[in-house]
């Protein structure tokens, strides 16, 4: 049943997961035209109706909050990200502390909206982050983590996912009280949240639409990681000499290697990370050379400095041109490989955007540039679902 989030799939992954099982969640989260008269979203509705009738999916006997733990490794250290699944009340942005940090694209938002309207179901959560230095939830559930989990599984990356249920009303109320006065940040799932919000606007008299399945994690819990998303340019308007010359007007430019090995590249990445609390630091890959760009840190985000000062002002690209020539990768090694193979003209290796920077931006009612953050670890889809059972009871007569 379980699968990666819908927006993490590539074509090969989708083929693999569709063949794993006829009951994998991929058949619900990625509507696909099939033989027959039903459009893809109606096909998902029909499939879900059958699964409910055949008890492939069964509702829990009473409401619950689900404790969710992910154990993963980062830089050879084991980390634990602890949070919970619950229904979150949908709110207009910032009116009650729900803050987005990325702009939304029309096409994926429309896709998620049509799926929710057709199925009246949430198959995967919106990834929400809150801040609690007292680690209230962690303390509340500490003893529970020693008991057998309802679900324990491993994903494709070898990371462990575990689930426990909380149905005790007193404990549930403690969790509700924890979030009642706190702002929450949409870490991942902006299109899903916005689609749910629009579905509620269209169905104000149907109480099911007023809530959405969400997963909440403490930004100060020690288990949440924000990874960088690096950049690739497929074209350059300037020669490499002109580009480096113009960059040197605003940055200190130093050569880390020319014609370096894989070890040189790994060492260069470490130098990009050094002193990043005090400086804007970027790695620039041009052909077989790796350059380091540095300057004292300002109040702006690294991604904003890169986007506005380097890509636009220095390299000369307009916003529309960047949509055509700019590409992204979560793996710096992929950036280096594409530069080395001549599949891109320039690559920029970035440091992660820090959580305090994100809060500062969203609390000032602004948005981050596209692809500014990659929250990790990713949450599995299919562990917990929010389905309007009344809707399906009616459809069965």
Instruction: Provide the 3-class DSSP secondary structure of residue 110.
Output: helix
User: What pLDDT is stored for residue 281 in this prediction?
Assistant: 95
User: What pLDDT is stored for residue 384 in this prediction?
Assistant: 94
Full set of structural domains in the chain with CATH: 44-226+375-395 (no CATH), 229-351 (3.30.1760)
Statement: residue 397 has pLDDT above 70: no
Q: Where are the beta strands (DSSP E) in the chain?
A: 65-74, 77-89, 98-99, 121-122, 126-130, 151-154, 160-166, 184-188, 211-218, 225-227, 230-233, 252-258, 279-286, 289-296, 326-329, 346-349, 374-376, 386-387
Average pLDDT over residues 165-190: 89
Statement: residue 38 has pLDDT above 70: no
Average pLDDT over residues 381-393: 89
User: What pLDDT is stored for residue 36 in this prediction?
Assistant: 58
Rounded Cα–Cα distance for residues 189 and 154 (Å): 22
Rounded Cα–Cα distance for residues 211 and 345 (Å): 46
332-380 tens-digit pLDDT: 999 999 999 999 999 999 999 888 888 888 777 777 777 888 888 989 9
pTM greater than 0.75: yes
Phi and psi at residue 248, to the nearest 5°: -70, -15
Instruction: Provide the 3-class DSSP secondary structure of residue 251.
Output: coil
User: What pLDDT is stored for residue 85 in this prediction?
Assistant: 96
152-167 tens-digit pLDDT: 999 888 899 999 999 9
Rounded Cα–Cα distance for residues 81 and 83 (Å): 7
Those residues with Cβ within 8 angstroms of residue 254's Cβ, 6 or more apart along the chain or in another chain: 291, 292, 294
Residues in the chain: 397
276-302 tens-digit pLDDT: 989 999 999 998 899 999 999 988 889
Asked whether the beta carbons of 317 and 231 are under 8 A apart, the reply is: no
Residue 91 — very low, low, confident or very high, per pLDDT cuts 50/70/90? confident
User: What pLDDT is stored for residue 381 in this prediction?
Assistant: 93
Rounded to the nearest 10°, the torsion over CA 90, 94, 99, 102 is 100
124-133 tens-digit pLDDT: 999 999 999 9
Rounded Cα–Cα distance for residues 252 and 181 (Å): 45
Angle at 6 between CA 384 and CA 69, to 5 degrees: 40
Letter string b/e over residues 195-227, b meaning 16 or more CB atoms within 10 A of that residue's CB:
bbbbbbeeeeeeebbbbbbbbbbbbebebbebb
In eight-state DSSP terms, residue 312 is: I
DSSP string, 236-298: -SS-HHHHHHHHTTTSEEEEEEES--HHHHHHHHHHHHTTTTTEEEEEEEETTEEEEEEEE--
Query: Count of CB atoms within 10 A of residue 86's CB?
Result: 23
Parallel, antiparallel or unpaired: strands 98-99 and 184-188: parallel
Angle at 214 between CA 87 and CA 368, to 5 degrees: 140
Those residues with Cβ within 8 angstroms of residue 251's Cβ, 6 or more apart along the chain or in another chain: 280, 282, 293, 294, 295
Statement: residue 240 has pLDDT above 60: yes
The chain-wide mean pLDDT, for the chain, equals 89
The pair of three-digit structure tokens given for residue 196, joined into one six-digit string? 């749910």
Q: Tally DSSP H helices, then E strands, for the chain.
A: 14, 18
Instruction: Provide the 3-class DSSP secondary structure of residue 372.
Output: coil
Residue % of the chain over a pLDDT of 70: 96
Statement: residue 175 has pLDDT above 80: yes
User: What pLDDT is stored for residue 37 in this prediction?
Assistant: 56
Nearest to 102 by CA among 229, 233, 235: 229
Instruction: Provide the 3-class DSSP secondary structure of residue 266.
Output: helix
């Amino acid at each position: 049943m379980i699968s990666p989030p819908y927006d993490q799939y590539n074509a090969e992954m989708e083929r693999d997961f569709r063949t794993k099982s006829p009951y994998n969640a991929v058949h619900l989260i990625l509507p696909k035209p099939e033989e027959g008269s039903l459009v893809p979203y109606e096909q998902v509705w029909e499939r879900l109706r059958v699964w409910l009738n055949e008890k492939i999916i069964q509702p829990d006997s009473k409401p619950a909050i689900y404790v969710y733990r992910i154990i993963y490794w980062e830089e050879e250290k084991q980390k634990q990200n602890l949070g919970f699944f619950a229904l979150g009340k949908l709110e207009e942005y910032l009116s009650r502390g729900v803050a987005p940090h990325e702009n939304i694209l029309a096409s994926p938002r429309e896709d998620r909206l049509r799926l929710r309207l057709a199925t009246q179901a949430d198959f995967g959560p919106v990834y929400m982050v809150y801040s609690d230095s007292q680690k209230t939830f962690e303390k509340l559930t500490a003893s529970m983590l020693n008991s057998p989990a309802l679900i324990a599984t491993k994903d494709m990356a070898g990371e462990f996912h575990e689930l426990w249920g909380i149905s005790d009303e007193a404990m549930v109320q403690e969790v509700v009280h924890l979030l009642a006065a706190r702002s929450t940040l949409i870490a991942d799932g902006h299109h899903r949240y916005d689609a749910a919000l629009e579905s509620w606007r269209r169905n104000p008299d149907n109480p099911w639409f007023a809530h959405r399945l969400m997963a909440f994690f403490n930004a100060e819990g020690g288990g949440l990681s924000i990874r960088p998303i690096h950049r690739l340019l497929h074209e350059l308007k300037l020669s490499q000499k002109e580009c480096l010359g113009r960059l040197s007007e605003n940055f200190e430019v130093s050569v880390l290697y020319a014609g370096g090995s894989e070890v040189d590249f790994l060492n260069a990445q470490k130098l990009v990370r050094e002193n990043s609390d005090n400086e804007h630091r970027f790695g620039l890959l041009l052909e077989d050379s790796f350059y380091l760009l540095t300057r004292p840190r300002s109040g702006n985000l690294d991604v904003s400095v890169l986007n506005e000062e380097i890509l636009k002002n220095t390299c000369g690209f307009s916003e529309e041109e960047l949509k055509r020539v700019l590409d992204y990768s979560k793996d710096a090694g992929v950036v280096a490989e594409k530069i080395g193979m001549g599949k891109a003209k320039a690559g920029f290796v970035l440091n992660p955007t820090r959580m305090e920077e994100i809060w500062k931006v969203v609390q000032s009612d602004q948005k981050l540039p596209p692809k500014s953050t990659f929250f990790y670890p990713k949450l599995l889809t299919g562990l917990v679902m929010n389905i309007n059972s009344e809707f399906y009871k009616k459809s069965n007569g």
